[in-house]
Each structure stands twice: as structure tokens, then as C-alpha cells.
Structure 1
């Protein structure tokens, strides 16, 4: 049965005017915003004493919150993915958005009761809802977009998600800094959930790809089955491994940038905000740049390009941080460099350029991997393949935390040394992937290193 989109290809930004893309784009933005809006508000409540912490330190609470959001992807993404292959996807998405409204209603009740346990449970439910939605949003794209539009569509989706996550984090923090903050959070979360549902109503029908699929309700067995679907095509499987490495890198840098700024650069909090914004802007620029670099194709050549740029700017960020620390020691005990002072130093601009370009490189690296997974997966199993990817992504993010703990905690090394270790691992993993799938380097040579006759 023909289910893939037969629409004439349009430009990347032209997709934002098409009903086959824009409603899904807005639905995803709302979900990503709400997850981080609620999470940030919850962390503010724990951090500033607005709610009982069960005698735990804020560092333990931060890890608890992170685990509460990761565990659902391990448990529920593979199970939900089979439903996405078996049933009509747009209707499934609407059901998930209705569930989000109910979850945010329960969150409002938890805020009113000031119940820490209920708030954490609601956070777990938001993670579960996201785990169920993730295979759907990526599996539905190839049914509504042509192959020439996949890279551009993924770039827009990745950009929008990154911006929504960032804005959600800011909004959750700001909301609780004003009078009646918990009610702003409760009302805002419900409003965004409702708007997300309204957008989902306009998502076009996406027929089931495997209506006869036998459902497996055991999460462990379904995870194995999903991984088996991913391994049917070697290119798809190695794209998942490479994509999961992106989440490893993102977890390391987003976790360590604040402390890198404080401990290595001796920069004030405004410097942290600037570096995080530069990292976000870089990711968005890189993701959007992929459509132009790929020339409307699903292009494996971009992956080695992105990986090489990550290595270059990742290494230089570690060296630039060390050079800055030597040239500009802390102005005094418990004193930090203000942002305006740092902007006058060339060594600070080198750090900022590295952070920006590291984000650009990450965007160039990951977007073609998503498009390759979508285009080369067997349509009947596409959502299950993406569900397997969600599980592997989560495991890589857990591994990132363990590497950080081992290097910084057990070995007692510095954050620049951690960055160097991560870049060494990056080089090894990427070379391993490119060795197992030579098409990456073959296309890179053909696309960027043409042989002149």
C-alpha cells in the first residue's frame, strides 16, 4: 500500500506553510516547551525551599529529576512504537496530547497541594508522554514529506525543539520568581497543552504501516524486537549509534558548561547564560544549514563533516579554556569576571567562538542521521526502529553521566581534561562507525573532495 507522501517538494521554510508539516511542528514545540517548563519550575521549588526535599541535597534532587525523565524512554518508547506502526498515527498523536492536558491538570493539583511526591510523579508522566510521542513524530515525517524534504524537515524540527526546550527552561525559572508563580506554572502548562492538542487536530492522516503487527506488551521483549528491527539494515543501526553519540555529547556539554564557566573561566552567571545561548544558536544554525549543504537529498556526507568539526572545536574549547584560565586568573577570593570585562579579552572570544561552532557542528552531524534513519528503515517497522533509537539514546545519556562522574569525581581531573577525554572517545566512535559503514566516507570524498581529472 502506498503511504509515502507524493506531494511536490517545497523549500525548507516553505514547509512551515504546509498543513502536512506545520501542525506537527507546533505540536512538538508545545510538548518540548511544557516538559522543560514544568521540570524547571519543579527544580526551582526544590532549590529555593518552596517544597519538601526529603532531606536530600539539591545535587541528588537534580539527578533524581534527570532519571525521572530518562527512565520512561527505556520503559515505554519501544512499547509505544509498535502502536505507531500498527495504528493510524495522527489519531494516536491526538490521544497523547489529550493525555498531556490531563497530566498538566494533575500537575496543577500537585502544585496546589505542595506535594513533592505527586510533583515528581507528574514529571514521570510527562516523560512517559514524551517517550510515547517521540517514535510517532519521526515516523510520521516520511509519510508527509518527500525524501527531498526530509533533511529540511528534520532540521526545522530539531531547531524548533531546541528553541522550545530553552524557552521552557527560562519560563519555568522566571515564573516562580514572581508573585503567585505556582499558578502561572499551572495555568501556563495547561494552556500550552491545550494549544498543542489544537495543533494536533490538523495533522493529516498517516495510515498504519503494518496493521497486522502482533502487539508485544512486555517492555523487555519489545525492546529486543525493536532493536532487531533496527539491525535489519546495517546503515540504519549504525546511524542510531552515531545519533545516540550526539546525545552523549549534548549531555556532557550542557551539564558541564555552567561549571566550566565558574571553575575554569571564573565567569559570572551572565557568562553561563551567554555560552548556553551561543550553544543553542549554533545547534539551530547547523540544523538549518543541512538542507542547503545536502542540496535537497538525504546526504551521508554531512555526517563525517559534522563529526570532524565537532572534533576540531571540541578540542579547541578544552585548550581555549585552559589558556584563558592561565591568562585571566580570578580577580580575587570568591570573585568572578563580569561579562562586560570578559568581552574585552580576545581569549574569551575564542571560547565563545568554540562554543558556537561546536553547536553548529552538532547540528550538521545529527540532522542527516535522523533523515537516514527515516528514509532507510523498512516503513512497516519505522516507528519501532525509532523506538529502539530512543532506548539507545537514553543509555548513552546515562553513560555520559558515568563518564563525567568517573573523570571528575574518581580521577579528580579538570573539566578541560574531561572535554579532551570526550573528544578522544568521539574520534574512536566515529572512526568505528565510518569503518563499519564506508558509505559515509565514500560520500564525503565524492561530495567535498572531488578528484579533478
Structure 2
């Protein structure tokens, strides 16, 4: 009887529980700071406010992006070992304290205007995130019941997406005011301090009794963590499916600005609208998972979300191509304002597609994350999460290489690249459903229940 209120409670009631909200706000601050500093540094390089060593802006911005991704390949497996060996709450506090030190160093780098030190700080924030990720996702199943796991992951997914977006916007806007660098320095330290304070309230999450020897060889360590993920079929294919989600997300978030400018012929405000629509869709889809899953782990949402991605991804490409064919002559080499675009049906069709594409992404990814956490061996959960981080990073790198080849070498247009991405997604989805029948079996059960 005592569990009934918890089962019936909304996922938002987790914000009242000490087992959840300190961890949520600690990770929110970390995701915010990563992107806050990233966007600020990109602005400094873009507008020549600091030394760029004679390199082009595109090269420097790619270096900044790589400095946040590469640590997940190098340090997540190392962190995963210690997450499984130690109390996860203590590890979380140590990492958040280290983040405070990194942000203090970042403040000095901004004060001195040192490009090299700022890049080191960006890399350090990537290391901190790579180490914190196995903690935050391995600790959830220890504190959260199975009936709350989907909802908790939905809230986490929504919060992380918001933190990334708000961090990028704030880092860009603050540098446009006088003394913006000092505001970035102070803001980063304050957010890190708040994250550390929240981390001190995370309840204990003791290590499991059985632990394996620490592996110091990075290559052997990565192989071992990946082998742990492969021990359970549901876990492995959830990791693969979730990593593919990061491939898709990287493709759309990277290409949407240029899609808005070259295909929709819109000014910068149209880029903002598309990105906001995508963000709102992802958040909405992530939060919707708890209701659709009826407060339980629901594999059926994975094929549902995956199929919606196929349909909506195709329509984004088709609608965008149709828009360009219909209006590129009328534009006469000029870009449309948002007011101009607002009078065109095809533009709103694209916006609506992008919004629903984000919803579909949330429906597809959140259940995969919850299934991975639930079915992972508790004694190796941190290392399995680390394996997931390694594959996430590899898939994000692969998305960049795919864009370079498809758009730069082959010469595809962005709509055609989107179609190619949808085709690859369909193949991955079919492979996922074939190798792990649980997804399609649960979908059949839910369809039968719906008909009856």
C-alpha cells in the first residue's frame, strides 16, 4: 500500500524527492557550463577577440567541438571502473568539486585572454562530463524504482536538452555586451558552485560487492567495457539504438542552420525558430514517454518513435526541396525575413515536421536509455554506461564524417542528405527490431490491447 502513491505520482513529483532533484540539478549545471563555455569560446574566435593562431574560424570551431567529444572516448571507460568500485554519490561530489576548479581556471583564462588555456578548459569540461555521465545514469536505478525509471529518464533527457540549448544561447548573448567575458567567467563559477552544493545532497549509492581489477591499458579497457555491454542482448541493442539517436541528432542540429539559409532562404531568425521547435519537440517527446508507457518500461515506444522519425524525416526533406523549387526565384538572391516566411505554408510544414521529429526522437531514445539501465548488470552498470558513451561519441564523429563526404565530396544537397540519413535510420531500425524481437513483440501486444 505504501508504494501506491509513488506509482500514481507524476514524474514531476520527483523534484520533491532527495533521491532525484540534487542529481538532476547537478547534471543540469554541468551540461549548461559545457555549452556556455563552448559557445562563448566560439564567439571569441569568430569575432577575433582572442588570438586564433592564424587558423580559420571553421577549423577552430571544429577543434572546440572535438575537445568536448574526444574525452568521452578516452575518459568515460576509466570513470566507469571507479563508478562501479566506489560510492557513486561520493564520486559525483568529487567530480562536481573538480568542475568548480575547472571553472575557476576558465575565469583566469578569460581574464588573461589566453586562447590555449581556454581550449584546455574546454577539454577539461569535456573530461568532467565524460566522468560524470556514468555516475548520473548508473545511480538512477539505485535510487529510482522501475515504475519511475522511464519518467526519470524523460525528465533527465528534457533537462539536459534545455541545459545545452540555454547554455549555447547565454554564451552567445552575454559576449555581445560590454564586459561579457567577465560575466561568462563569474557565471561559470557560480553554476559550478551550485552544482557542487546540490551534489552534496545526493543520497549514498554504495558500490556492489563484486568488482573487477582496474585496467590501465586504454585500448583493453575500451574493449572490456564494450564486452560488458554485449553480455545482455537487450542492453547491447539498446546501446546501439541510443548511439544511433546521437548520430541523427548530430546530423539535424548541425545541418539545420544551413538548411534554413540555403534551402528555406531564411534569415538567422528562421534558424532560431527551427532549433527551438526541435528542442521543444525533444522535450515534449521525452516527457510524454512516462504517460504512454503507463509508468513502466515500454519497449513498444522504440519502434513507434523510430517509424515516426522515418516519416517525418522524409517529409522535412521533401517539404524543404519543394520550398526551394517554388521560392528560390522569387527570393532574387535575398534572404526571407521571418515575417516573409510566416506567409508560406511550406515553411510552416517544415517547422511542424521539425517539432514532431523532435517528439519522435524523444519517444525513441528515452525508453532505450531506461531499458539499458534496468537490464545492465548492477555490478558493471557504470562501465556499461561508459561503453554507451564511447559508442555515442563514435556515432557523433561518424555523423560529421558522413556529412563531409555526402555534402562536400559527393555534392548532395541538404534535403538529399536528409533522405540518405532517413534511409540509414530505417536500416538501423530494422536491424534493431530483428536482433532484439522484444521491441516488436511489445508493439504487437500494445496494438492488440488498443484494438480491444
Please tell me the TM-score bracket, short chain as reference.
over 0.9
Where do 1:334-413 residues align within 5 Å?
A: 334-413=333-412
Indicate the residue corresponding to 1:296 in structure 2: 295
What CA distance in whole angstroms lies between the structure 2 residues aligned with 1:125 and 1:312? 40
Indicate the residue corresponding to 1:115 in structure 2: 114
What CA distance in whole angstroms lies between the structure 1 residues aligned with 2:139 and 2:380? 12
Question: How many angstroms does 1:235 deviate by?
Answer: 1.1
What CA distance in whole angstroms lies between the structure 2 residues aligned with 1:394 and 1:124? 14
1:190-230 alpha-carbon deviations (Å, 9 max, x no partner): 00000000111111111112454321122221111111110
What CA distance in whole angstroms lies between the structure 2 residues aligned with 1:449 and 1:48? 58
Question: How many angstroms does 1:75 deviate by?
Answer: 0.2
Question: How many angstroms does 1:53 deviate by?
Answer: 1.0
Indicate the residue corresponding to 2:94 in structure 1: 95
Indicate the residue corresponding to 2:203 in structure 1: 204
1:380-425 alpha-carbon deviations (Å, 9 max, x no partner): 0111001000000000001100110111000111000000000000
Q: Check whether the contact 1:148–1:298 (CA below 8 A) recurs between aligned residues.
A: yes
Indicate the residue corresponding to 1:137 in structure 2: 136
Indicate the residue corresponding to 2:265 in structure 1: 266
Q: Check whether the contact 1:330–1:337 (CA below 8 A) recurs between aligned residues.
A: no
2:44 equivalent to 1:45: yes
Question: How many angstroms does 1:7 deviate by?
Answer: 10
Question: How many angstroms does 1:131 deviate by?
Answer: 0.1
What CA distance in whole angstroms lies between the structure 1 residues aligned with 2:359 and 2:177? 35
Change (3 A) 1:451 1:142: closer
1:132-171 alpha-carbon deviations (Å, 9 max, x no partner): 0001100000000000000000000000110011000011
Q: Check whether the contact 2:84–2:211 (CA below 8 A) recurs between aligned residues.
A: no
Please, what is the CA RMSD of the aligned residues?
A: 1.5
What CA distance in whole angstroms lies between the structure 1 residues aligned with 2:195 and 2:425? 37
What CA distance in whole angstroms lies between the structure 1 residues aligned with 2:451 and 2:391? 41
Q: How many residues align?
A: 449
Q: Check whether the contact 1:33–1:168 (CA below 8 A) recurs between aligned residues.
A: yes
Indicate the residue corresponding to 1:64 in structure 2: 63
Q: Check whether the contact 1:89–1:136 (CA below 8 A) recurs between aligned residues.
A: yes
Q: Bigger shift: 11-20 or 387-396?
A: 11-20
2:74 equivalent to 1:78: no
What CA distance in whole angstroms lies between the structure 2 residues aligned with 1:383 and 1:450? 36
- TM-score, with structure 1 as normaliser: 0.97
Question: How many angstroms does 1:343 deviate by?
Answer: 1.0
SS at match of 1:124: helix
SS at match of 1:329: helix
Indicate the residue corresponding to 2:11 in structure 1: 12
Q: Check whether the contact 1:69–1:123 (CA below 8 A) recurs between aligned residues.
A: yes
Change (3 A) 1:334 1:376: same
Query: Stretches of 4+ moved more than 4 A in 1?
Result: 5-8, 330-334, 449-453
What CA distance in whole angstroms lies between the structure 2 residues aligned with 1:371 and 1:243? 10
What CA distance in whole angstroms lies between the structure 2 residues aligned with 1:390 and 1:397? 11
1:301-324 alpha-carbon deviations (Å, 9 max, x no partner): 000000000001000000000111
Question: How many angstroms does 1:340 deviate by?
Answer: 1.1
Q: Check whether the contact 1:270–1:339 (CA below 8 A) recurs between aligned residues.
A: yes
Q: Check whether the contact 2:264–2:323 (CA below 8 A) recurs between aligned residues.
A: yes
1:25-62 alpha-carbon deviations (Å, 9 max, x no partner): 10011000000000000000000000111111111112
Change (3 A) 1:6 1:108: farther
Indicate the residue corresponding to 2:151 in structure 1: 152
Q: Check whether the contact 1:85–1:211 (CA below 8 A) recurs between aligned residues.
A: no
Indicate the residue corresponding to 2:23 in structure 1: 24
1:353-387 alpha-carbon deviations (Å, 9 max, x no partner): 10000000000000000000000011001110010
Question: How many angstroms does 1:333 deviate by?
Answer: 4.9
